[in-house]
Structure formats: C-alpha cells, structure tokens
Structure 1
Amino acid sequence: MREYLINTPVASIIFAFTIATSIYTFSNHQLFGRFMLHPYSVSKGQRLHTLLTSGLIHRDWGHLLFNMLTFYFFGFSLEALLAGLSTWGHLQFALIYVLGLVLSDVGTVFKEKNNFSYYSLGASGAICAVLFSFILFDPKMMLGIFFVIPMPAWLFGVLFLAYCVWASKNARDSINHDAHFYGAIFGILLTIIFYPWVIQHFIQRFTG
C-alpha cells in the first residue's frame, strides 16, 4: 500500500475514494440521489457539482467491480508511465481523469437537457479516458476482453468506439454510451496535448 501511495498517489486516492463513496451510497439513498448527474438541472445551471460527484458512485456491485478492475489495471500503470516521462506526470494523470470525467458528461447534458427523468452515474467516462490514453503509448498491448478473449489494444479501441456510436443510437439499456465515447476521445486529445510526439510514437509502435 505504501508503495502505491508513493509511486502512484493520484490513482491510489481516486481508487480508494471511489470505492468508499460507492459502497457508502449503496445504503445512503439520499446522498446517492444528490450525487447523480441530472442533465436537466445542470443545463439550467443547477447541481453542477454532479458533473464530478456522479463519477464517485456506481449503480451496484457489478458496475463498481468492472470499473475499478479496469482502473486498477490501467490507471496505476498510466500514472507511473506519465510520472516517468515528466515531473508533471502526476498532475497530468489527474487532469486526464478529472477532465475526462467532466467533459465526457457534457455531451450527455446537451443531449438529455430536456429529459427531466434522465439520470446518469459512474466513473466510466474518466476510466475510458485513462484507458485510451494508455493505448496511445502501447497500441499492440494485448487486452483480455471480458478477461478471456485476447485482442490488441488498437483493435479494441476501434471496435469500442464503433460500438459506442451504435449503442448510443440503438441500445435501450441504462448505460451512458455517450460518456464512454467522449471520455475515450478526450483521453486521446489530452494525451496528445501533453505529449504531441505520442502520435508518431503510436504510429511507430503500430507499424513496427
């Protein structure tokens, strides 16, 4: 634990705080409701805090487990990687996560601004930002989809974004597919802003 706090302090705090907050709100429905993103209210300048707090809670144990496993595998690795590239690496990681979370919800706010009954929650947008940032540095890394199916990271990225576009228009589930898509895009853009050379690096790793 001490090693994680020293080497990856931002990821450690996010990981612990998100788990603790999510578990606490499982039984505190009042706080759960106050933390959920409500685009209708946000579009009217109300409950702006939910652009952040909605990423601290999850629908159920399965939702929390999937997101935190993904964050564990890629969040800590990305922060360590960025910290090795720059003295600002820890701050850059924090910005990718936080801005990925907030900006991934902006599209949802515009799309659902007139839908009073729509609510959204979860850290998926931020985690997609982290995941796709990491993919830029190692596009041929093998991912275990559903922890079973092997697939190179670049192919997963293409299929994931295509699915998000399709699901946003056609799926009738409770998942905010728009947040996944925008989180991934903003994760890529922020990483390129921090490290413009990563584009050439990605191409070289992809073709090499």
Structure 2
Amino acid sequence: MHTRALRTTYFPRGNSGNSHRDNWQRFFRRGFNPHPNHLLYSVMGANVAVYALFVLSDAQWKRFNDPRWMRFMLKNFTASWYNLSSGRLHTLLTSSFLHTRVDSLIFNMLTFYLMAPHAIAMLGARTFLALYCGGGLAASAATLSNPSNGASGAVGSTLGFFAAANPHATFSLYFFLPVQAWMAVGGLVAWDAYNTLTSPYSVGAHKSRLSGTLAGVAFAMFRMRAIGPRVPWR
C-alpha cells in the first residue's frame, strides 16, 4: 500500500490530456521489469561482447591495416567532445560497456558479479539499471577531454552504492582478506583520487572509476536521506 500511495502521489492519474506521458509511466512501472538474473547476465554479456568487438577491430587495424572497424568503435563506444559535437549523444551511454584491456574487463566483471545481486535486491531491476547507466554517464562526462570509456565508472557506481547503503557489510578482498565495505571503497576512492592527480598516463581510467563510484555513493545518500521527491524502489 505504501508503494502504491507513492506511485499515486508522483504519477497521478487523470484525464488531463497527458496520455503520452501516462503511457511512458505505465511502461516504466510495469512494462520493463526484467528478472534480476537476466539483467545481471545481460549487462555482463554486453560488456564481454563489446570487448570482443574491440579486440577484433584492433586486430583488423594492426594486421590488415584496415581502420574501419576501429573507427566505428571510437565513434560509437567512446565518449568525447568530438562525438558529442558530431551528434553522437548515445556514446555517453554506450561507452559504459567498453573495455580496452582484458585485465580491466575481468576485474570489473568479477566486481559486478559479486556486488550487483545485492544492489538489485535492494533497488529492483529497473532502478538498478538506472544506477548503472547513471554511473556510466557520470564517468563519461568526467572524461570528455579525451576519447574514453565509462565502463569502470558504471561498475564503480554499483560498488559505491553498496558500500554507502551497507557500510559495515564484510566481504573478502582478493578472496581471503575480510574487510568492511566502507573501508574497501574508501581506499579505492583515495587510490583513484591520488592517481587522478599524479598519473597522467592513466588519469582517464582512475577518473572514470572515481566519478562512477562517487555517483553510486551520492545515489545511496539521496535515497536514504530522501532528498527531494521520494521515488519508490520498485
């Protein structure tokens, strides 16, 4: 009843001529509600598929001197001022699924696999997807000065949200060192902030993850402290 009351308050019904808006609201509330496991594996599968496409594009360029596929990847899966000024606004979101190194892909997908189910259980699939995409958008916006990807930021938003919502939850760092969530994420934020200031060659990756992680923390604080209109979790 509480959720229904909230929906009635923030999504009022009536014959006010806003049928198009009402249709989108009904779609958001009921039409798009994937199963948590389907969402989890779909996001991971999209990341793996985009990485595979990047590897093939790189091989095509280096082995056969054919840059067409790499040009396609840069134009459609990296966020930059050039892409935005060219009208490719979708890159702010699609860059959230691009990795350019296999070690980064493995680390991010392992983190996502461990953290995402808990966040989905708390938020519901639809709101979690908004969190993931929001983290990617924050990372893309923070790294527009050079062609970049926001995949680490999107995954970082999941980690940041979980740590802010469950600061004393304990998990095994590197599978053997028990550590509380706030300590692990706090250390990661400090590490990324330090490297953002001191490592010019890797500043993009650290800035991306830092921005996404802070976006996840901000989302958790926003929801828990009820700043602004309260939106139902599910």
**Normalising by the residue count of structure 1, what TM-score does the alignment of the two structures yield?**
0.76
Which residue does 2:110 correspond to in 1? Answer: 69
| Runs (5+) with no aligned partner, structure 2 | 1-33, 59-68, 227-234
Which residue does 2:95 correspond to in 1? Answer: 54
RMSD (CA atoms): 2.3
The alpha-carbon deviation at position 192 of structure 1 amounts to: 2.9
Q: Which amino acid is 1:104 matched to?
A: A
CA distance in 1, matches of 2:94, 2:176: 32
Q: Which amino acid is 1:99 matched to?
A: G
The alpha-carbon deviation at position 151 of structure 1 amounts to: 2.2
Moved more, 50-59 or 38-47: 38-47
The alpha-carbon deviation at position 73 of structure 1 amounts to: 0.5
Secondary structure of the equivalent of 2:179? Answer: strand
The alpha-carbon deviation at position 184 of structure 1 amounts to: 1.2
Contact 2:96 2:150 in 1 (8 A): yes
Q: Structure 1 residues 64 and 93 mapped into 2: Cα distance closer, same or farther (>3 Å)?
A: same
| Runs (5+) with no aligned partner, structure 1 | 83-88, 113-117, 198-208
Identity across the alignment (%):
24
The alpha-carbon deviation at position 38 of structure 1 amounts to: 4.3
Q: Which amino acid is 1:166 matched to?
A: Y
Larger radius of gyration: 2
Q: Structure 1 residues 10 and 192 mapped into 2: Cα distance closer, same or farther (>3 Å)?
A: farther
The alpha-carbon deviation at position 193 of structure 1 amounts to: 2.9
Q: Which amino acid is 1:59 matched to?
A: T
2:142 pairs with one of 94, 107, 120: 107
Pairing 1:15-164 to 2, within 5 Å after superposition: 15-29=44-58, 30=69, 31-42=72-83, 44=85, 46-82=87-123, 89-109=124-144, 112=145, 118-164=146-192
Which residue does 1:203 correspond to in 2? Answer: none
Contact 1:135 1:153 in 2 (8 A): yes
Contact 1:10 1:93 in 2 (8 A): no
Which residue does 2:15 correspond to in 1? Answer: none
Q: Which amino acid is 2:125 matched to?
A: H
Secondary structure of the equivalent of 1:154? Answer: helix
Contact 2:99 2:149 in 1 (8 A): yes
Contact 2:137 2:150 in 1 (8 A): no
Contact 2:136 2:150 in 1 (8 A): no
Secondary structure of the equivalent of 2:85? Answer: coil
Moved more, 167-176 or 60-69: 167-176
State yes or no: 1:8 paired with 2:43.
no
How many residue pairs get aligned? The number is: 180
Contact 2:79 2:95 in 1 (8 A): no
CA distance in 2, matches of 1:36, 1:165: 25
Q: Which amino acid is 1:44 matched to?
A: S
Secondary structure of the equivalent of 1:8? Answer: helix
